[in-house]
Amino acid sequence: MTPLRVLGLAVASVLGASAMAQSHFPAPPTPAGNPVTTPKALLGMALFWEEQMSSTNSVACGTCHQFSHGGVDPRAINQRHPGPDGIPNTADDILGARGVPVRDASGHYSGSTTFGLDPQVTRRKAPTVINAGYQPALFYDGRVANGEFRDPVTNQVVLTGPVALENLVAAPPINSTEMAHTGRTWTEVTNKIATARPLALASNIPTRLANFIGGATTYNQLFEQVYGVGATATPTRIIMAVATYLRTLNSDQSAFDQSIAGQGTLSAEAQRGMTVFNSRHGSAAACSQCHGDISNASHQFGPTPLQTTMYGQLPVPNSHNTGIRPIADDNGVGGITTNQTDMGRFRTPGLRNTSLHGTWFHTGGLTTMAQVVDFYDRGGDFHTNQATEIQPRNLTAQQKSDLVAFLDALTDPRVAAGQAPFDSPRLGSLNNAAPTRSGIGMTGTAGRTPQAVAHEPVVIGGQSATIAVQNVPANAPTFVVWDTVAVTQGYTYAGLQLYVGLYDVAVTYAGTATPSTGGAGFASFPFGVPSLRSLIGTNLYAQWLVFDQGAPLGVTTSDLNHIVVR
Ligand code: HEC
Ligand code: HEC
Nearest to 384 by CA among 339, 419, 343, 434: 343
Peptide bond into 305 cis (omega under 30): no
Nearest CA to ligand 1 atom 29: 129
179 CA distance to ligand 1 centroid (A)? 11
Nearest CA to ligand 1 atom 42: 126
Asked if residue 424 belongs to a domain, the reply is yes
Asked if residue 469 belongs to a domain, the reply is yes
Looking at the structure, do residues 380 and 260 belong to the same domain, yes or no?
A: yes
Which of residues 384, 400, 429 is at a domain's end? 429
Nearest to 22 by CA among 279, 187, 219, 253: 253
Nearest ligand for residue 245 CA: 1
Question: Quick one: pLDDT at residue 462?
Answer: 64
Question: For ligand 1, is residue 333 a contact (CB within 6 Å)?
Answer: no
Question: For ligand 2, is residue 10 a contact (CB within 6 Å)?
Answer: no
Looking at the structure, do residues 229 and 268 belong to the same domain, yes or no?
A: no
Label the pairing between strands 451-453 and 436-438.
unpaired
Burial class (CB in 10 A: 0-12, 13-18, 19+), 303: buried
CATH assignment of the domain containing 553: 2.60.40
Domain of residue 513, residue span: 434-564
Question: Quick one: pLDDT at residue 68?
Answer: 97
Asked if residue 108 belongs to a domain, the reply is no
Question: Length of the chain in residues, anyone?
Answer: 566
Nearest ligand for residue 287 CA: 2
Looking at the structure, do residues 273 and 220 belong to the same domain, yes or no?
A: no
**Distance between CA atoms of residues 477 and 388, nearest Å:** 61
Asked if residue 366 belongs to a domain, the reply is yes
Question: For ligand 2, is residue 479 a contact (CB within 6 Å)?
Answer: no
Question: For ligand 1, is residue 179 a contact (CB within 6 Å)?
Answer: yes
Question: For ligand 2, is residue 361 a contact (CB within 6 Å)?
Answer: yes
Nearest ligand for residue 363 CA: 2
C-beta of residue 498 within 8 angstroms of C-beta of residue 490: yes
Label the pairing between strands 539-547 and 555-564.
antiparallel
Looking at the structure, do residues 213 and 233 belong to the same domain, yes or no?
A: yes
Looking at the structure, do residues 320 and 296 belong to the same domain, yes or no?
A: yes
Looking at the structure, do residues 54 and 31 belong to the same domain, yes or no?
A: yes
**Distance between CA atoms of residues 12 and 237, nearest Å:** 22
Question: Quick one: pLDDT at residue 137?
Answer: 85
291 CA distance to ligand 2 centroid (A)? 7
C-beta of residue 58 within 8 angstroms of C-beta of residue 456: yes
Looking at the structure, do residues 520 and 373 belong to the same domain, yes or no?
A: no
Looking at the structure, do residues 247 and 165 belong to the same domain, yes or no?
A: yes
Looking at the structure, do residues 328 and 190 belong to the same domain, yes or no?
A: no
Peptide bond into 349 cis (omega under 30): no
CB count in 10 Å sphere of residue 134: 22
Q: Residue 123 contacts by C-beta under 8 Å, 6 or more apart in sequence?
A: 81, 94, 96, 177, 330
Question: For ligand 2, is residue 354 a contact (CB within 6 Å)?
Answer: yes
Nearest ligand for residue 378 CA: 2
Which of residues 376, 400, 429 is at a domain's end? 429
pLDDT along the chain (566 residues), means of 10: 33 36 72 98 98 97 98 93 94 96 96 96 96 88 94 98 97 98 98 96 98 97 97 98 96 86 89 90 88 44 36 59 96 94 91 95 96 98 95 98 95 96 96 94 95 96 89 97 96 96 93 96 95 94 96 96 96
422 CA distance to ligand 1 centroid (A)? 17
127 CA distance to ligand 1 centroid (A)? 7
DSSP tag of 333? T
Looking at the structure, do residues 245 and 296 belong to the same domain, yes or no?
A: no
Asked if residue 94 belongs to a domain, the reply is no
Asked if residue 117 belongs to a domain, the reply is no
Question: For ligand 1, is residue 66 a contact (CB within 6 Å)?
Answer: no
Nearest to 100 by CA among 434, 348, 377: 434
Question: Quick one: pLDDT at residue 23?
Answer: 62
CATH assignment of the domain containing 145: 1.10.760.10
Question: Quick one: pLDDT at residue 317?
Answer: 58
Looking at the structure, do residues 269 and 375 belong to the same domain, yes or no?
A: yes
Question: For ligand 2, is residue 213 a contact (CB within 6 Å)?
Answer: no
**Global confidence as pTM:** 0.93
Nearest CA to ligand 1 atom 28: 129
Nearest ligand for residue 243 CA: 1
Asked if residue 80 belongs to a domain, the reply is no
Please give the tally of structural domains in the chain: 3
Q: Decide: helix, strand or coil at residue 555.
A: strand
Secondary structure of 406-474 in the HEC alphabet?
Answer: HHHCCCCHHHHHCCCCCCCCECHHHHCCCCEEECCCCCCHHHCCCEEECCCCCCEEEEEEEEEEEEEEC
Nearest CA to ligand 1 atom 5: 61
Find the angle CA(416)-CA(278)-CA(132) to the nearest 5 degrees: 40
Nearest to 438 by CA among 496, 525, 499, 524: 499
Question: For ligand 1, is residue 244 a contact (CB within 6 Å)?
Answer: no
Asked if residue 60 belongs to a domain, the reply is yes
Looking at the structure, do residues 198 and 154 belong to the same domain, yes or no?
A: yes
